[in-house]
Amino acid sequence: MASEPLIRVTGLRKTFGNHRVLDGLDLDVRAGEAVAVLGANGAGKTTLLKVLATLTRPTRGTVTIAGHDGATDPELVRREIGLVAHSSYVYEDLTAAENLMFWATLAGLRPSAAERAGALATVELERAADERVRTFSAGMKRRLSLARFVLARPRVLLLDEPFTGLDQRAKKWLEEHLASFKAGGGAIVMTTHSFGRELAVADRIAILAGGAIALDTPRGSLSADDVHRLYALHAEDAS
C-alpha cells in the first residue's frame, strides 16, 4: 500500500489583488520522492514554494505537510521543512560558522562544535568557516544556506532553483546530497529552468501553467529533448 504523501496540496488558489497566480493546483509528493516544477517566468513556481513554506497564506485550498495543515499549524510545518530560496538567508557580517550557529540556535538545535564543523565540511566550506560571509561568492552563500539543513535534518526540502550559481563540483555534491536525502525518506519539491542534468534528481516532472499543474509525469527515461517538447506543449502554449 502506498504511504500517505508528505506533501499534499489540494485546490490551491493564490491571488495578489486581482491577479490569480495559482488556481486549482493539486500536488502530492510522497516520502522518498522528488518533484521538479517547471514553468515560465511568472507561472507561480516561487509562489507555490512560499505557500508550501508557510511564508504566504493560500487564498483558497489546503496545504498539508507531514500531516500538519499549513494554515492552522504553521509552526509544526516549519519544523518539518527546509527552504532554499533565491536569497541565502545569511548575515554578511557574521562568519560561516557564526551564521550556522545562529540559525541552529534559533531553530532550537544545540549542535556541538564537531557537528557544526561537519556540516560546513559537507558543503566544502570548512576552510572558509571563520571568514565573513561578505567575502563569499553567490555559490558559497548558497552552499552555506544548504549547510543549515545538514544540521536541521528536515523531512521536506523546498528548493527554488537550487543549482543556480553553483559550480560543477557543488552541483555534483548537491545531486548526491539530494539523492541521499530522498533515500532517507525525505520529500523534495524543486523549481528549475534547466532541463538537463539538474533534473536527474527528480522522480517526477510537473509543469506549472495557467495557475495549475498542466502535466505531472514520471521522469523515467525522458531525455532533455523530451522535456523540452513537453514544456513547449504545456507551458509555452499556456503562456
Partner 1 sequence: MVWKDLLVERRSKETLNALFFFGLLLLFVFQFALGPDRERLAGTLPGLLWLGFILSGLLALGRTFVVERENDCWEGLLLAPGDKSAIYVGKLAGNLLLMLAIEAILLVLFGFFFNLDLANVLPGLAVVIALGTVALAAVGTLFAAMTAQVRARELLFPVLLLPVEAPVLLATVKATEAVLLGETLGSVAHWLKLLAAADVVYVAVGVLTFDFVLEA
**The one among 24, 31, 59, 102 contacting partner 1 by CB under 8 A:** 102
Q: Does 68 bind partner 1 (CB under 8 A)?
A: no
Determine if 13 is a binding residue for partner 1 (CB under 8 A). Answer: no
Min separation Cβ 231 and partner 1, Å: 29
Binding test (CB under 8 A) with partner 1, winner from 46, 54, 64, 192: 54
Cell numbers 521543512 correspond to 81
Stretch that binds partner 1, among 5-13, 38-46, 48-56, 211-219 (CB under 8 A): 48-56
**Which three three-digit cell numbers place residue 233?**
506543449
- CA gap 158, 37 in Å, rounded: 11
Residue 116 within binding range of partner 1, rule CB under 8 A: no
Q: Which of 14, 45, 68, 78 contacts partner 1 by CB under 8 A?
A: 78
The answer to the question of residue 103 lying near partner 1 (CB under 8 A) is yes
CB of 90 to partner 1, least distance (A): 5
Q: Which of these ranges, 59-67, 94-102, 118-126, 202-210, lies near partner 1 under the rule CB under 8 A?
A: 94-102
Among 21, 34, 35, 90, binds partner 1 (CB under 8 A): 90
Return the exposure string of 190-228: e unless at least 16 CB atoms fall within 10 Å of the residue's CB, then b: bbbeebeebbebbbbbbbbbbbbbbbeeebeebeeeebe
What's the CA gap between 158 and 54, in Å, rounded?
11
Distance CA 26, CA 29 (A): 10
- Find cell 544556506 and name the residue: 145
Minimum CB separation of residue 230 from partner 1 in Å reads 32
Q: Measured between alpha carbons, how far is 79 from 143 in angstroms, rounded to an integer?
A: 21
**CA–CA separation, 155 and 80 (whole Å):** 5
Residues at the site binding partner 1, with contacts judged by CB under 8 A: 53-55, 74-75, 78-79, 81, 83, 85-94, 98, 102-103, 106-108, 132, 141
